[in-house]
Amino acid sequence: MNHIELRPLDEDDLDAVFEMMRDRDAITMAAFTAADPDDRGAFDAWIARQRNSPDVLCLVVTENGGFAGTAAAFTIDGDREVSYWIARHAWGRGVATEALRHLISREPIRPLFARAAAHNAASIAVLTKVGFTEVSRDIDFAPGLGREVEEIVFTLVPALDGS
């Protein structure tokens, strides 16, 4: 396997992140995306809010030193969540799984939550490989698809020994 690392997001990453999040196949899989993925102004405002929030951990996923995606941890309604977006060139090689392992090892809060569109088998496989289990399902509007989609909520709880 290639060498996967996480590092802080910086200004030099923003063009790559914007382009990655405009990939139509990725948008279809993620489903719960920006209403207009081509709106650079909206992207810049969104990413600035994320980077300036003390509650959000924004990281870049690297594969052998090169950009391979993003990973984040944040709080919504009191629950700590994790998320990742892997660039298409890095799909299918275990990059997402390894990046998520790194992310959850850095994030001390438990339980952790994650979400995936029910049709995104690859993301569901990544989440279950690292120990997340399904806790609920909802139907929500998915801007990336322009319609309602089933969303699965997962959780990662502490082991019985507290680790």
pLDDT computed for residue 60 by the predictor? 98
Q: Which residue has the tokens 């969104």?
A: 46
Total number of domains in the chain: 1
- How is the beta sheet containing 4-8 ordered, strand by strand? 4-8, 57-63, 66-76, 79-86, 112-117, 147-156, 133-142
Distance CA 156, CA 163 (A): 11
The answer to whether position 31 is within a domain reads: yes
User: What confidence tens digit (pLDDT) does each residue in 103-158 have?
Assistant: 999 999 999 999 999 999 999 999 999 999 999 999 999 998 999 999 999 999 86
Query: What is the rounded average pLDDT of the residues 11-28?
Result: 96
Q: Give me the chain's average pLDDT, please.
A: 94
CATH code, 101:
3.40.630.30
The answer to whether position 37 is within a domain reads: yes
Q: Above 70 in pLDDT, residue 44?
A: yes
User: What confidence tens digit (pLDDT) does each residue in 72-113 have?
Assistant: 999 999 999 999 999 999 999 999 999 999 999 999 999 999
Q: Yes or no: say if 8 and 14 are a contact pair by the CB < 8 Å rule.
A: no
Q: Above 90 in pLDDT, residue 59?
A: yes
The answer to whether position 65 is within a domain reads: yes
> What string of DSSP letters covers 30-67?
H-S--S-TT-HHHHHHHHHHHHH-TT-EEEEEEETTEE
What percentage of the chain reaches a pLDDT higher than 70?
96
The answer to whether position 14 is within a domain reads: yes
Query: What is the rounded average pLDDT of the residues 55-81?
Result: 97
The answer to whether position 162 is within a domain reads: no
State the residue range of the domain holding 148.
4-156
Helix (H/G/I), strand (E/B), else coil: 116: strand
Distance CA 26, CA 18 (A): 12
Q: Yes or no: say if 1 and 98 are a contact pair by the CB < 8 Å rule.
A: yes
The answer to whether position 92 is within a domain reads: yes
Half-sphere exposure of 42 (CA within 13 A, CB side): 9
The answer to whether position 149 is within a domain reads: yes
pTM of the model: 0.93
Of 88, 110, 113, which is closest to residue 19 (Cα–Cα)? 88
pLDDT tier, 161 (very low <50, low <70, confident <90, very high otherwise): very low
Query: What is the rounded average pLDDT of the residues 11-22?
Result: 98
The answer to whether position 161 is within a domain reads: no
